[in-house]
Amino acid sequence: MALRGSGAAGAGGGDCHFPAVFNFGDSNSDTGGLSSLFGAAPPPNGRTFFGMPSGRYCDGRLVIDFIAESLGIPYISAYLNSIGSNFTQGANFATAGSSIRRQNTSLFLSGFSPISLDVQSWEFEQFINRSEFVYYNKGGIYRELLPRAEYFSQALYTFDIGQNDITSSYFVYNTTEEVEATIPDLMERLTSVIQSVYLRGGRYFWIHNTGPIGCLPYALLHRRDLATPTDGAGCSVTYNKVAQLFNLRLKETVASLRKTHPDAAFTYVDVYTAKYKLISEAKKLGFDDPLLTCCGHGGGRYNFDLSIGCGGKEVNGTSVVVGKSCADPSKRVSWDGVHFTEAANKFVFDQIVAGALSDPPVPLKRACQSKAR
């Protein structure tokens, strides 16, 4: 279905005034997709901001939530969440555990989601087609729950995915060379999805690179052989070098898209640098041990157990929650050994919102512009 309407206001200068955000990604930006499909993220997830689990694997808000706040729109409802969702100003297709490539396994065996990026793009296509039809043919309450047709061409399209492609490949004991060899294919698949969004009218893209995977306890413990050598922050040099290679190729891919589609705006956002700064300078920035999990179990170096996640239960006659959270999540970087705390996410957002870590260096509110003005 063809899209109606022109680009976001402000494309010629000034703020863009995006009326909606459509997000694609994994757990770093999932606002409830996986919880809707496979069971809710349990308490104490959500304790800091929402006061209860909210579908996010975090004590509070994610970077995507701070993006929405900054743009003056409501938090983005997960496309897969049928209860209480409002899509008037966007939809979130991300699910925790998602990857660019399809996983040749099940969620229950591997922990990785079957909702790969191509599936998310199909969901988006169906969302456009069905929402436009319902909005204009049924009207009524649907006009209060679905976006206007012109919003699709004026919206900001955000992407944050790729971390699970690297870790899932490593977790089946592929070598570093084998993991690196998958990156060109990942870039082709990502390009294909972004181009499909472009063909549907999308013109403004905000694309995050992947973070320092070698600083995440779950990665360090899954492949102990990759946990050494470590750098001064205690992070795996091996994991991080592969993440950096992925990011280099991603930056090249975004530059290529920019040349192919000069009428669109593609912003490459270096969240790796923001996250590594936080981890390597944690104490100076007011945090404590950046590798110590807040909501975990087992003590040890990371207070993390691969078999019992945040809010997980161990049954010994009675059901007892063993994945409890620390007293003050605002002092921790790692929430559950996989994801950041709200405080850490806020730090990352503050680092990227003004465009200092972006290529081109445009701030979030001017991401409809193809270059800095």
The whole-angstrom separation of Cα 101 and Cα 165 is 7
Whether 17 is catalytic is no
**Which SS3 state, helix, strand or coil, does residue 236 take?**
strand
* DSSP code at position 78: B
Whether 339 is catalytic is yes
Catalytic residue among 26, 27, 280, 334: 27
Omega within 30 of 0 (cis) for the link into 229: yes
For 157, the enclosing helix (H) or strand (E) is: strand 156-160
The whole-angstrom separation of Cα 303 and Cα 295 is 8
Specify which residues 160 forms β-bridges with: 25
Six token digits for residue 256: 């290529």
Catalytic residue among 26, 54, 99, 339: 339
Enumerate residues 6+ apart whose C-beta is below 8 A from 236: 213, 214, 215, 219, 220, 226, 227, 228, 229, 230
Catalytic residue among 65, 336, 358, 370: 336
**Which SS3 state, helix, strand or coil, does residue 184 take?**
helix
> Residue 37 carries which side chain, given as an amino acid letter?
L
Whether 27 is catalytic is yes
Could you list the active site residues? 27, 336, 339
